[in-house]
Each structure stands twice: as structure tokens, then as C-alpha cells.
Copies of this chain bind each other. A is one copy, B any other.
Amino acid sequence: MRRPLRIGLIGLGVVGAEVARLLLVEQKTLSAQAGRPLEIVAYSTRDPHKQRGVDLSKLPWVASPAELAAREDIDILVELMGGADGPALEAAEVALKARKHLVTANKAMLAKHWAHLFALSKKHHAAIMFEASVCAGIPVVKVLREGLAGNRISRISGILNGTCNYILSAMAERGIEFADALKEAQNLGYAEADPTLDIDGWDTAHKLIVLAKLGFDPAITLEQIPVKGIRDITLADVQAAKVAGKAIRLVASAEKKADGTYAMEVAPKVLDAAHPLAPVSGPMNAITIDAQPVQSCTLIGPGAGAGPTASAVLADIIDLARFDILLEGPLYLPR
């Protein structure tokens, strides 16, 4: 078999632990898909002794993420720590400068440091893969980058935050208060470590900016998006909408206007029952891409949770593993 792809993993939260678990438990299947063994070589996390449902005790633990990123025995860095700056950014920079490909779920870091990180990527010929940064396992980054690469994108819109959609759905379906619905979302592992990022719309805005940079123009910045979250939505609001046969959803949209400028927004909207986004409930996300010549493409799936997000991280890892062996064989081996 071919040379293993050697993975350095930083961050063992809900998603990181699930990625590690799958890479160990499904090692054989995943390696077959990748065309070569996928091996975690070392990992970094604040407390290596914390119970996470996965046993990494046989692997070396490295205290510093940046130090792990610099190790000569890793081919790619998988960053699942989060945080726009600080140790995640430092480790990403170290990895790219050392020509190691970067896999990240960190939409906040990408939203803030896109130009800087992609300049490093270009200079050092190291890829940045970030499927997990937007809507978990829904492969929207791949669809925008590749699947619709022959299109002119005119509009990207959807429900991009599982926590907010879970809260709004729970309030409407079960008549519970905002705070209780948020607590449920946290207990189910949907919410960000800091849930204000979810409910104030910033997580949605971070995802929208990544999609707008991909689909429209990498120069678009977060400051161009008016952002309103769902913090002020009351049970009475949700119930009034329901009585009128409508549904409240936190909707993100970015549209290229005829004059070449962009109309972008994150805000709660009262949608008619017939609106395609109205039936999207619970932690589900949905994205509609309007483009020519494809006309439209809609993707629906769970937008949060350990498993769905791990699916995206694994896809990026497998892509990198396959890319590295392109020279030796056919592009894809069917399952």
C-alpha cells in the first residue's frame, strides 16, 4: 500500500474527538477510500487526560499546537480548536509555512484572516481545506468551489446555523421559551462554546462570508454584512407567526446585483409556509445557490453536531490523501 498520510490533530472538543474516534475505529474503511493509510501521528489539546470516548493514550501529546504544526513527521494539520486568533491561527500559519496542508472547521478564523491565510497557501503551495467551516456535513464548500465551478453565481441564501434553527423550531413546535430551547441545543452539542456567537447571528455571518468569498469575491468582508440575531425573538413572536401559518427563520443571503455590488444580510425573517426554507426545522440547515447555467441548486442536511461535522473533516482529509497520489494512478477509485 501507498505511504500513509500523517495527520497532526489540534483541538479535541466535540468535533475533534469524533474525528479522532472515526479515524481510529474506521481506519480500514477510510484508508481504502483515501487510497492510502490515514494515521494520526500526534495531537494537541489542553487536557490530554479528559475523558472523550476515544483513547489516544498511545499517541504523543504535544502541549503547543504550533509546535505540533511544525513537526516534520506530519503531512497535514487538522485544526479543530476554534477561535479567530491566538493558538489556532498561529498553528495554521506555522503549518502552511512548512508546506503542510491545513484542514480547518474554523469559520471565525477564515472570516477574519482569509487574505493572509490564502496568501500563505499560495506562497508555500499548501492547500487550505475548510468544508467543516460551513454547515457541517453539507458539502457546500465543495459544491461552490468545484461542483458549480462553471457557473456565474447570482445568489446564495439559506439557514446556516443549526442552533438558531433548533431554538426557533423548538419554540414553535413545543411552545417552550427561548432560554430553555437554547439550553437544549447546548446539551445536544449543537451550540458553539460561546452561544452568543450563534444567537446574535455572528456564526451565521461567518459562514455567509466564507460562502460569499467563495462564490463572489474574496475581498468581501464581514463589515459589509448587517447582522441581526434571534436574541430578541420571543415565544409570543414565534407563536403569532405560527398562528398565521408562517415560520420565523434566521436567514442569511448574499446577492450580486446588476451593478456589480452585493446585497448581503443576516436577519430573522417571517416566512410563508410555502417558502422553501420554512419546513427546514431543528438543527437542519439549507442553502440555495442561484447560478447560471445550473439555474439553482439546494443542499439540505444537519448543520451542526459531532458526526455531521466530522463527515466534512474526513472528506477534506480524504481529498488531500487522494490529491497527493494523483501522479501515481487514476483520479478516483470507485468504492
Contacts and interface: CB of A to CB of B under 8 A. Distances in A.
A311 B139 contact: no
A311 B150 contact: yes
Contacts of A293: 18, 22, 137, 306-308, 310-311, 314
A264 interface: no
A146 B146 CA distance: 11
Given A330-B125, A334-B213, A149 B297 contact: no
Interface string A136-168: 111100110111111110000000000000000
Interface in A297-323: 297-302, 305-308, 310-311, 313-315, 317-319, 323
A149 B334 contact: no
Contacts of A311: 148, 150-151, 291, 293-294
Interface string A109-147: 000000000100110011101010000111100110111
A216 interface: yes
A295 B137 contact: yes
A172 interface: no
A244 interface: no
Chain A binding surface SS class: mixed
A59 interface: no
Contacts of A143: 139, 142-143, 147
A292 interface: yes
Contact of A295 (B148, B302, B333): B302
A152 to B, nearest CB: 7
A218 interface: yes
Contact of A334 (B118, B146, B305, B315): B118
Interface residues of A, number: 70
Interface string A10-31: 0000000010001000100110
A147 B142 contact: yes
A243 interface: no
A1 interface: no
Contacts of A301: 294-298
B147 A315 contact: yes
B139 A148 contact: yes
Contacts of A150: 22, 26, 30, 33, 310-311, 313-315, 317-318
Given A301-B297, A307-B295, A335-B215, A139 B145 contact: no
Contacts of A307: 292-295
19 contacts: A101-B331, A118-B334, A121-B330, A125-B329, A127-B330, A139-B143, A145-B332, A146-B146, A213-B335, A293-B308, A293-B311, A294-B302, A294-B307, A295-B302, A296-B302, A297-B299, A298-B298, A299-B299, A299-B300
Given A22-B293, A139-B148, A142-B143, 11 more contacts: A122-B329, A127-B331, A139-B147, A150-B318, A213-B334, A291-B311, A293-B307, A294-B307, A295-B307, A297-B299, A299-B299
Interface of A: 18, 22, 26, 29-30, 33-34, 101, 118, 121-122, 125-127, 129, 131, 136-139, 142-143, 145-152, 213-218, 291-302, 305-308, 310-311, 313-315, 317-319, 323, 326-327, 329-335
